[in-house]
Amino acid sequence: MDTLTPTGLATNDSSNDKRVLLLKPRGFCAGVVRAIDIVKIALETFGAPIYVRKEIVHNRFVVNELAEKGAIFVDDIDQVPEGMRVIYSAHGVSPAVREHSKERKLKVIDATCPLVTKVHVEAIKFAKQGYSLVLVGHRDHDEIEGTMGEAPDVTQVVSNVEEVQALQVPDPNRVAYLTQTTLSLDEARDIIQALKEKFPNIAGPHSQDICYATENRQTAVKNVAHNADLVLVVGSQNSSNSNRLVEVSKNLGTNGYLIENSTAIDPAWLEGISTVAVTAGASAPEVLVEDVVAYLKERGYGSVEEVEVMPENVRFGLPPEIVQAIQAAPGGTSATV
């Protein structure tokens, strides 16, 4: 017989020995919702094709869905025909990319997450004040590429504590640090501590750069991992924040896996497992989470409990390029996400 948990999710009394803990918050953050909406609205307003530099967010399912609607994803601005419309991804771009877009007379729509823009503004500020800049993050990530481009001559990237020891700067008393928004809180804390020990007068952002959604999803895993035998994180392999969720779980002693969808689950993982915690990175859609829960139910995990660690109600407005275009369109009035 099915009953309802306090969160309203159906459970099956006969399978209470095998259960799913569904973490909340999970999945899309405000920056991802905004970026996806920007592409959808641009396609509806201007028509296909709309070019997008890099993956709009790091999730294959989302990218494929938007491609089917007419979005064309490119790795380089040179791949966009001159004069066409292009959208910058949520991870941001460097000033060099912006300048090249102008040279090619591209109509730009900027879907950079406002929290990434905050880091760019901080980088510009510190560079203008004569600081050497240390960017804590992963060198191959799109976000790091964009932020480093704001002040490439004075910026160095460090990805671990060991790299901090090798840093050399012109003036140890004029050093500042910033971080990628999707880092592990624990990893970033250790690196920042090492930076403070090496450069006692180091400056930093007024508020942490790691975004609210990254922090909240990691906190949810920390709160629930000890009650689970296995943690499944729904997200793409190139999603930094999704990978960090797996790391958080493993660091707490609970095995975890990053999966694109239910087909990526190895049945062997579930052998002897009674409680599975399920969450999703900030760029993974809820439909994929539902797919994973359905897969687990079919294998006897009939009890599903949603565990809300904290509420999350952040929303971001649309960029002016989109708002103005909608207002100028026939019947256009206003636009919000």
Report the catalytic residues: 143
Q: Supply angle C-alpha 55, 34, 71, rounded to 5.
A: 40
| 304 vs 324: CA distance, rounded Å | 44
Q: Which residue has the tokens 């609210």?
A: 212
| Phi, psi at 72, each rounded to 5° | -115, 115
| 62 vs 305: CA distance, rounded Å | 26
- Of the candidates 278, 253, 216, 198, the residue with the CA atom closest to the CA atom of residue 23: 278
Q: Please tell me whether residue 124 adopts helix, strand or coil conformation.
A: helix
Amino acid identity of residue 205, one-letter, is P
Cβ atoms of 100 and 77 closer than 8 Å:
yes
